[in-house]
Amino acid sequence: MFKPSRAMRRLHRNEEGITGLETAIILIAFVIVASVFAFVVLSTGLFSADRGKQTVLAGLEKASGNVEVRGSVSLQDVGTVAAPTTPDGAIGEAGGPSVDVFIFNLGTAAGGRPVLIDPAVTTNTMVINIVDSGARVANLTYTVNKILGDTDDLLETGELFEITVTIPDDMILDENEEFTLELIPQSGGTLLINRVMPPEISDLMDLK
């Protein structure tokens, strides 16, 4: 004879089995979704940290100087400009404005990278400007004397280059006048050499 109570108990047991399986599937889905989300968050965090590190290093490289002055800065009168020629071809009055040069030694700063110092090239080399109370002149002419170093034009750790910078003919530095030399390498910060002319000008002056 059919007994409803026994059939209901079997049906109830079957429902419990289905509910347990569905719960397991849902839990597994939650675990997978959580794992994917954690992986995405972790990857994004690592990527952001790496980009932040690159930005900080680039900022430090830009801000930190690669070169520094070793010793004093000298201003020397090395001669006079050639006398002008008159329209009829004759030589004018002898003499002319004096030709002055700055002389100083450069070395690499602590932890600085090698710097290309070659006045013969026009790209990726050091540029020197001068600013005084009345004018600013860019891209001054300069020469390099390698006191300590190898045969290349890179200023590297342990090397010493003597730089001779020619002041433009139309720029006159007067007594007690303040001026600034801007040394701009291809990488790293700009080196500013700020000096004041002495109260009495001679052929050779040590500007400290």
Look at the pTM and tell me if it is higher than 0.85: no
- Nearest 10 degrees: CA dihedral of 104, 110, 111, 115? 0
- Supply the pLDDT for residue 137: 93
Q: Which domain holds residue 32?
A: 1-63
Enumerate the β-bridge partners of residue 145.
Answer: 162
How many domains, in total, are found in the chain? 2
Q: Which of 63, 85, 109 is the last residue of a domain?
A: 63
**Under a CB-based contact definition with an 8 Å cutoff, are residues 130 and 136 in contact?**
yes
- Are 117 and 26 found together in one domain? no
- Are 53 and 77 found together in one domain? no
- Supply the pLDDT for residue 80: 56
How are the residues of the chain apportioned to helix, strand and coil, as percentages rounded to the nearest 5? 30, 35, 40
- Supply the pLDDT for residue 63: 45
Compute the C-alpha angle 182/183/187, nearest 5°. 130
- Supply the pLDDT for residue 194: 93
Q: What is the pLDDT of residues 40-64, one digit of tens each?
A: 777 776 666 666 655 554 554 554 5
- Are 192 and 142 found together in one domain? yes
- Are 35 and 111 found together in one domain? no
- Are 120 and 140 found together in one domain? yes
Distances (CA, A) of 97 to 44, 78, 93, 103, 168: 65, 11, 12, 19, 10
- Are 54 and 71 found together in one domain? no
Nearest partner of 207 among 149, 197, 81, 199, judged by Cα: 197
- Are 44 and 80 found together in one domain? no
More confident residue, 41 or 87: 41
Q: What is the pLDDT of residues 139-189, one digit of tens each?
A: 999 999 999 988 899 999 899 999 999 998 888 888 899 999 999 988 778
Q: Which of 63, 93, 113 is the last residue of a domain?
A: 63
- Amino acid occupying residue 121: V
